[in-house]
Amino acid sequence: MIRILVKLSSFNPNDMIRILFSLLFFTLSTIAGVAVQGQQTAVSPDKARQIDAFMMHAAENGLFNGAILVAEHGEVIYRKSFGYADFENSVPLAPETAFYLASVSKQFTTMAVMMLKEEGKLSYTDPLSKYFPAFPAYARGVTIRHLMTHTSGIPDHYRLGAYKPDLTNRDVYELLVKQDSLDFRPGDMYRYSNGGYVLLAMIVEKASGKPFYEFMKEKIFDPLDMDRTLVYDASKPVIKNRAIGYNQSGMKDDYEILTTGAGGMFSTVDDLFKWDRALYTDKLVSQKTLEEAYTPTALNDGEISNYGYGWGVVMADGKKTVSHGGSLNGFRTYIGRNLEDQNTLIFLTNNGGAVANQEIREGIANILEGKPYDMPAIPIAAELNRLLMDHAPKNAVKKAKKRLKDHPGKYKKDEGNINSLGYYFLGRKEYDKAIAVFGFNIDLFPDAPNVYDSMGEACMVSGDTAKAISYYRKSVELDPVNQNGLNMLASMGVDTSGLVKPVIVPVDVLEKYTGVYELAPGFNFTITLDGDQLMVEPTGQMVSPIYPASEVRFYSRLVDAQITFRMDKKGNVTGLTLHQGGNTEARKVK
């Protein structure tokens, strides 16, 4: 299980001080506590001021550590950075700081393919077998277009376990070519595949006769004066003024692989704006070619996938927006472009999940459109930390609960950050505060196994073995693959052989759970059945198995997350609840 925190066996109190710093648990009520650099223009002063207040609020409350650029009608109205490129050395970010782009790189890969297509060096209908004859016979039915639209059936190499430092495209190819079959018949469905995009980068090399990094520099970056953008290759080039990646808890989680096509690029908000502006011209490819890239994909059965060539495509109020996000290691990135109004939002961050991604996208879009908007909710962990500075632990928790009750829209329950705060106090041996914080988390998230695991550790460290056993037992009941909980119980002499019991759910019940569940506008969980194995695919992410803890509750072995399916009185599945850093409800839409 991937846990949100390191446990005390590898714990350094100084690390947790940096964690606290990275989460911006500040006592200051002004932005003086956050490193800020940048500018805002006078093109739309009112909107720029609104965006600045919005982003200051996010940064002050641990919801943004990165660089952001906003353009309206093709003109930059806001450009600023908040926080730190290097937490350990307190190096501030700047708008010129380069970030790893993660999957925002995919639109550049498809641009390379489109340029080669216009040059007559390849065709979208070329089969995979033309470039990789060693693939099994199924490759004859997979086209370049299938790869670009995530409809190829080529599996995501991360799902196959292909992750290691210095992972290369060749490593991915050698894994994929060994697969006996596709995930599905090409064109039957949309399923995000990083592996498909690695193959696209390799096809660009074969069609152009040049290394991918060289082609991108010569054909795209240099012509657009994107002098802070590059494809990170095996030479491991030194990148000046580059952000280091950290996870949400402030632990270093930097980019460490060498694959290209699916990711592999570094850039800045300024260079990405140059890219945005170039896409309204014919400088790289024709507008006719780009229009095809911005068109949703028709599947074999006539259903529509809202993904074009490296871009997600959404129509709202008669206007088309194309966008893509990225997420790997400590980096979260985004570019969104309203093609009708030429409004653009770009943000690049390096603090893992500590970013109000959806809230920022929706809030700034509403500001630009002159619509009402809400400030991102404040993590209750930050407020609890402030309260603990002036009040006894029990009183602080009582006040935090009252704030949640009295101001439900102002504060948000944030399991991960509350957990981080508990470990901060545990590392300082302030056991009364740690136990109060973990207890608060249990009250808020009674179905989350990690909160009981953390409380078990606090009780054990503080000398209350009986309570530690009780909490560890509860953690394992909720998460049967919680190896840490099992190990800790065994270390205290508890027989764990009967704790984990296999749960078998009939296939006809599993079939009822299949469908599409909307967690947020534009973000769904697609639940499918592979034989008798239930699978989940978040929008833009890889498909992965989930396992039953009961007939209605399932858990992931890849991340600390559980899903509970909800039904009406007639037994019809109406939605699900995601238990991950809180409880998020999703309705079944298909």
* Closest CA relative to residue 67, chosen from 241, 296, 254: 241
**Hey, CA dihedral for 436, 440, 446, 449, is it positive or negative?**
negative
Q: Are 353 and 331 in contact (CB under 8 A)?
A: no
Give the type of residue at 488. M
> How many Cα atoms occupy the beta-carbon half-sphere of 73 within 13 Å?
4
Helices (H) and strands (E) in the chain, counts: 19, 25
Q: Are 537 and 543 in contact (CB under 8 A)?
A: yes
> Which run of H or of E encompasses 368?
helix 357-368
Helices 449-461 and 465-478 meet at what angle, rounded to 10?
160
CA 471 from centroid of its chain's CA atoms = 30
Structure tokens, 509: 């019940």
Using CA atoms, how far apart are residues 128 and 567, in angstroms rounded to an integer? 43
Active-site residue, selected from the candidate residues 22, 44, 81, 103: 103
How crowded is residue 340: how many other Cβ atoms within 10 Å of its Cβ? 11
The yes-or-no answer on residue 103 being catalytic is yes
Torsion of CA 28, 30, 36, 37, to 10 degrees: -160
Torsion of CA 40, 91, 411, 367, to 10 degrees: 20
Using CA atoms, how far apart are residues 65 and 399, in angstroms rounded to an integer? 28
Using CA atoms, how far apart are residues 436 and 433, in angstroms rounded to an integer? 5
Cα–Cα distance list, 356 to 49, 174, 329, 375, 403 (Å): 19, 38, 17, 10, 20
Using CA atoms, how far apart are residues 25 and 483, in angstroms rounded to an integer? 31
| Residue matched to tokens 């034989």 | 531
| Residue matched to tokens 């595949």 | 193
> Which run of H or of E encompasses 474?
helix 465-478
Q: Which residue pairs, CB below 8 angstroms and at least 24 apart, start in 556-565?
A: 557/1, 557/481, 558/2, 559/1, 559/2, 560/1, 560/2, 560/3, 560/4, 560/449, 560/450, 560/479, 562/447, 562/448, 562/449, 562/478, 562/479, 563/525, 563/536, 564/447, 565/513
Give the type of residue at 203. I
SS3 content of the chain, % helix, strand, coil (to 5): 35, 20, 40
| Residue matched to tokens 């209350």 | 464
> Which run of H or of E encompasses 91?
strand 91-92
* Closest CA relative to residue 45, chosen from 78, 68, 13: 78
> If you count them, how many residues does the chain have?
590
Catalogue the active-site residues.
103
